[in-house]
Amino acid sequence: MSFFKKLKEKLTTSTQEASQKFTDGLTKTRDGFASAVNDLVYRFREVDEDFFDELEDLLIQADVGVTTTMDLVEDLKEEVKRRNLKDPVAVRDALVEVVAKRLQEDESDRELNMQDGLTVILFVGVNGVGKTTTIGKLAHQLKSEGRSVMLAAGDTFRAGAIDQLQVWGERAGVPVIRQAEGSDPAAVVFDAVQAAKSRGVDVLICDTAGRLQNKVNLMKELEKVKRVIEREVPNGPHEVLLALDATTGQNAMVQAKAFQEATNVSGIVLTKLDGTAKGGIVLAIRNELDIPVKYVGLGEKVDDLQAFDPEQFVYGLFGDIFEEKQQTNDDLA
């Protein structure tokens, strides 16, 4: 059975709603990158070095990054050689397979590390990436799954951050532990942990500052918050989720490396993926940082935060190729 048929059959068992969200959310990237790949394929009659050079340019333009692009193209060349592929269309199809393989990872890496008792999730990320909004959406999602959720307003330095989280708490119907603006974030988190324990809460999600006087102060503050959680909760925090704005491209990679050093990030939440034509950043993150992408933001609605699914992502990115094959009954019949 071909790769395309296997993937198509696997996706038929997924929820139609999730498939549609990935398809809709990746429209800009699909219209940009995937369409450009198709144009490249139909301009070349044979596969040569010029073909691969142009493909590299397209991958880099899609924010796949130079390192990951070189790795992908090298994998593709090996696949072309192994299968003796001559037709550019066949090479394009092989590219889809190579991308899919690069995104494959142990499914348990993508799942939240939920505990039998209290699970503490620490959210980090710079201002403006949609961190607080994402916390609200995740709280809504976890509550809809039957879990009790509490929020900690640990971003006490940004004007309006506490009130913004309070609004999201009210929308999701979950309590928010807060103090006055300018309070010690570690103290807020300490109070929240004690409240969560006393109320028997399932999940505590902690917001944190995204900017202080300088990066050193910010990272020291995050380390302090993390130490409080470690002291008060066994093996906590159980997740450190880094919110990254997909529209910032390679700058998101720089942010990820800085936060990884301070907080040992366990997962990425890639926000605003629907707002960029450069969704290749997903590949760069997985390949260069070796941190699983756990959630992606695919719209503004409260239910548009989706657990990352590599198969759904590949189909959302290359859906036109699948449709083309279905119409010709090639590999999908």
The token pair at 163 is 């009130």
Tell whether residue 303 is among the known ligand binding residues.
no
Query: For the sheet containing 119-124, what is the strand order?
Result: 176-177, 149-152, 203-206, 119-124, 239-245, 267-271, 293-297, 305-307
Residue type, 92: R
Tell whether residue 149 is among the known ligand binding residues.
no
Residue 223 to residues 84, 125, 254: CA-CA distances in angstroms? 52, 13, 19
The token pair at 219 is 């990272």
Q: Which residues contact 220 (CB under 8 A, 6 or more apart)?
A: none
DSSP string, 127-179: TTSSHHHHHHHHHHHHHHTT--EEEE----SSTTHHHHHHHHHHHHT--EE--
Residue 215: how many CB atoms within 10 A of its CB? 13
Tell whether residue 210 is among the known ligand binding residues.
yes
Tell whether residue 126 is among the known ligand binding residues.
yes
Tell whether residue 208 is among the known ligand binding residues.
yes
Tell whether residue 178 is among the known ligand binding residues.
no
Residue type, 299: G
Tell whether residue 132 is among the known ligand binding residues.
yes
State the Cα–Cα distance between residues 88 and 2, nearest whole angstrom: 18
Tell whether residue 276 is among the known ligand binding residues.
no
307 forms bridges with which residues in the sheet?
295
Tell whether residue 246 is among the known ligand binding residues.
no
Tell whether residue 86 is among the known ligand binding residues.
no
Q: How far is CA 269 from the centre of its chain?
A: 4
In 3D space, the residue among 4, 2, 75 whose CA is nearest the CA of residue 326 turns out to be: 4
Tell whether residue 50 is among the known ligand binding residues.
no
Tell whether residue 173 is among the known ligand binding residues.
no
Tell the burial category of 45 from Cβ atoms under 10 Å away from its Cβ (0-12, 13-18, 19+): exposed
Tell whether residue 167 is among the known ligand binding residues.
no
State the Cα–Cα distance between residues 72 and 77, nearest whole angstrom: 9
Tell whether residue 209 is among the known ligand binding residues.
yes
Tell whether residue 37 is among the known ligand binding residues.
no
Q: Write out the binding residues.
A: 125-132, 207-211, 271-274
Show binding-site residues for GTP: 125-132, 207-211, 271-274
